[in-house]
């Protein structure tokens, strides 16, 4: 890209909440992989006379997201109808928020100490899902009405890498809060970017923006933004005037393509949802704050300060809330055995231990390695394989019923390991191999 121009990028992130029921009805929100159109009712199908009622859990989850992003939670909020026609929207409008969002004026720090401003975090409902088969289009309304939260940033990004870092941090926050799986392949989390460029050194926003819609992976988003920046700069340098439009990403061609021009843009005609009351949040914020867990960047700082591990190790352990909690559990148990947190951190990271692994076994492995004892199952299995291959006569005798020769095989293994093998584990593995 020409260094005469600076990208100006804003981001819109949609995340589906993992509530049991939908946003405005009692239908199951667990739609993924289910038979089409089996999780529906008059409310989410938009049938005449069906009245919506709010999902309290979804609203609390939206508030948690807003608070984790340093937003102010509005004392008074309300829902509105976003009017447009599309086959996946049976009511002819989406219940959303525009003038009275639930959370406003947030910010999130990215690498380098830069803060990305967040305009709003608001609640809405998802649409149905379209599947195109040749000339036919099939509609599944199982997703219609699933709780959705939209996060809208200010145009504070200046590179695709900043966008990727921010989006990954958001995904981590959703998972730490437990409000969404945020699985992009399943569509739990979807990205849209508004991209434009301006001459380097200028401050004002360009008089156009290109919206990149429905990107379902971090890699695709980075590729789409980088392509779009290059395309826009080339057009400007050719003297072309850029206009507002919506574009998609074609992964096969590695390029963006036109979906809708400004002339075709929607006028959504927002107006208050008459069938839902105002949301009076005053007095509930403090109790919701109390449910927000320690965030990953907070864990990183504490792990470095309390356990003396490196920042890099702390970041790896804090990537997942489950792994971070598991690490602390093992550290607590390891105090009695005087095993250092650094040893535990290194073992968990290097051995790719999962939270399902028994912490006691982890500590045993660390202890045996520290004392020079070979207790690692993989190493012992390799040792047993060599002992069996080198002693075919004793193996044959064992299989014919002379089980006492196992002592000689154990002895061979101990000699090969210079006496460092865990003899009890060595016996168990030998017996298992010889009896198969």
pLDDT exceeds cutoff 90 at 195: yes
d(CA 80, CA 422): 68
The residue whose two tokens read 């360009």 is 206
d(CA 58, CA 262): 34
Alpha-carbon distances of 169 from 99, 166, 379, rounded to whole Å: 27, 5, 38
Least confident of 40-49, 125-134, 178-187, 263-272: 263-272
pLDDT for 131 equals: 94
pLDDT band at 232 (very low <50, low <70, confident <90, very high): very high
Token pair belonging to 325 = 């909690």
pLDDT for 377 equals: 86
How many helices (DSSP H) and strands (DSSP E) are in the chain?
A: 13, 16
Residue 298 contacts residue 315 (beta carbons within 8 Å): no
d(CA 44, CA 22): 8
* DSSP single-letter state for residue 355: T
Least confident of 91-95, 252-256, 397-401: 397-401
pLDDT band at 263 (very low <50, low <70, confident <90, very high): low
Residue 288 contacts residue 281 (beta carbons within 8 Å): no
Residue 152 contacts residue 44 (beta carbons within 8 Å): no
pLDDT for 231 equals: 97
pLDDT band at 422 (very low <50, low <70, confident <90, very high): confident
To 5 degrees, how large is the angle CA 402–CA 403–CA 409? 110
Contact residues for 56 (Cβ-Cβ < 8 A; gap 6+): none
Domain segments of the chain as ranges = 5-289, 296-370, 377-434
d(CA 59, CA 39): 21
3-state SS assignment for residue 170: helix
How much is the average pLDDT of 6-34? 97
pLDDT exceeds cutoff 80 at 387: yes
Q: What is the pLDDT of residues 98-143, one digit of tens each?
A: 999 999 999 999 988 999 999 999 999 999 999 999 999 999 999 9
Give phi and psi for 145, each to the nearest 5: 95, 0
Contact residues for 71 (Cβ-Cβ < 8 A; gap 6+): 103, 104, 105, 106, 118, 120, 121
Token pair belonging to 375 = 């207790």
Residue 384 contacts residue 429 (beta carbons within 8 Å): yes
**Closest residue by Cα to residue 117 from 11, 229, 5, 7:** 11
pLDDT band at 397 (very low <50, low <70, confident <90, very high): confident
| Whole-number percent of the chain with pLDDT over 90 | 75
Beta strand pairing call for 93-96 and 80-83: antiparallel
Query: Regarding predicted confidence, which is higher, 53 or 368?
Result: 53
Write the CATH number of the domain with boundaries 377-434. 1.10.10.410
pLDDT exceeds cutoff 60 at 1: no
Exposed / middle / buried, residue 207 (Cβ in 10 Å: 0-12, 13-18, 19+): exposed
* Neighbouring C-beta atoms of residue 368, cutoff 10 Å: 17
| Whole-number percent of the chain with pLDDT over 70 | 98
pLDDT exceeds cutoff 60 at 189: yes
pLDDT exceeds cutoff 70 at 265: no
pLDDT band at 421 (very low <50, low <70, confident <90, very high): confident
Query: Regarding predicted confidence, which is higher, 391 or 401?
Result: 391
d(CA 82, CA 273): 9
pLDDT for 2 equals: 58
How much is the average pLDDT of 241-245? 93
How much is the average pLDDT of 186-192? 95
Residue 414 contacts residue 423 (beta carbons within 8 Å): yes
Count of alpha carbons within 13 angstroms of residue 236, beta-carbon side: 21
Give phi and psi for 406, each to the nearest 5: -60, -30
Residue 358 contacts residue 348 (beta carbons within 8 Å): no
Beta strand pairing call for 114-125 and 103-110: antiparallel
Mean pLDDT of the chain: 92
Q: What is the pLDDT of residues 300-343, one digit of tens each?
A: 999 999 999 999 899 999 999 999 999 999 999 999 888 999 99
pLDDT band at 402 (very low <50, low <70, confident <90, very high): confident
pLDDT exceeds cutoff 60 at 68: yes
pLDDT for 375 equals: 76
d(CA 32, CA 38): 11
């Amino acid at each position: 890209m020409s260094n005469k121009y600076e990208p100006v990028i804003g981001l819109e992130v949609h995340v589906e909440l993992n509530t049991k029921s939908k946003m405005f009805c009692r239908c199951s929100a667990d739609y993924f992989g289910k038979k089409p159109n089996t999780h529906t009712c008059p409310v989410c199908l938009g049938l005449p006379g069906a009245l919506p009622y709010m999902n309290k859990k979804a609203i609390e989850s939206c508030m948690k997201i807003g608070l984790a992003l340093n937003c102010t939670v509005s004392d008074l909020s309300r829902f509105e109808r976003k009017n447009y026609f599309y086959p996946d929207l049976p009511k002819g409008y989406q219940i959303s928020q525009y003038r009275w969002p639930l959370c406003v004026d947030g910010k999130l720090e990215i690498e380098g100490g830069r803060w990305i401003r967040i305009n709003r975090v608001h609640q809405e409902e998802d649409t149905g899902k379209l599947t195109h088969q040749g000339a036919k289009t099939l509609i599944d309304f199982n997703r219609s009405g699933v709780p959705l939260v939209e996060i809208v940033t200010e145009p504070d990004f200046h590179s695709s890498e900043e966008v990727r870092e921010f989006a990954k941090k958001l995904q981590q926050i959703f998972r730490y809060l437990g409000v969404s799986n945020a699985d992009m392949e399943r569509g739990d989390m979807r990205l849209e970017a508004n991209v434009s460029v301006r001459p380097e050194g200028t401050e004002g926003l360009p008089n156009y923006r290109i919206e990149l819609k429905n990107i379902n992976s971090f890699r695709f988003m980075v590729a789409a933004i980088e392509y779009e920046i290059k395309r826009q700069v080339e057009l400007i340098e050719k003297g072309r005037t850029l206009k507002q439009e919506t574009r998609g990403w074609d992964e096969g061609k590695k390029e963006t393509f036109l979906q809708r021009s400004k002339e075709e843009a929607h006028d959504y005609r927002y107006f208050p949802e008459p069938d839902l009351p105002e949301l009076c949040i005053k007095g509930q914020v403090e109790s919701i704050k109390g449910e927000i867990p320690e965030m990953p960047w907070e864990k990183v700082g504490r792990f470095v300060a309390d356990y003396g591990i490196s920042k890099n190790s702390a970041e790896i352990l804090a990537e997942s809330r489950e792994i971070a909690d598991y690490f602390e559990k093992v550290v607590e148990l390891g105090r009695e055995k005087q095993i250092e947190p650094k040893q535990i951190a290194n073992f968990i990271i290097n051995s790719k231990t999962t939270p399902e692994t028994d912490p006691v076994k982890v500590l045993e492995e660390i202890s045996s390695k520290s004392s020079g004892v070979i207790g690692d199952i993989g190493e012992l299995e390799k040792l047993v394989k060599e002992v069996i291959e080198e002693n075919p006569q004793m193996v044959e005798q064992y299989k014919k019923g002379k089980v006492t020769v196992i002592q000689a095989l154990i002895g061979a293994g101990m000699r090969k390991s210079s006496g460092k093998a865990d003899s009890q584990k060595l016996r168990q593995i030998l017996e298992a191999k010889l009896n198969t």
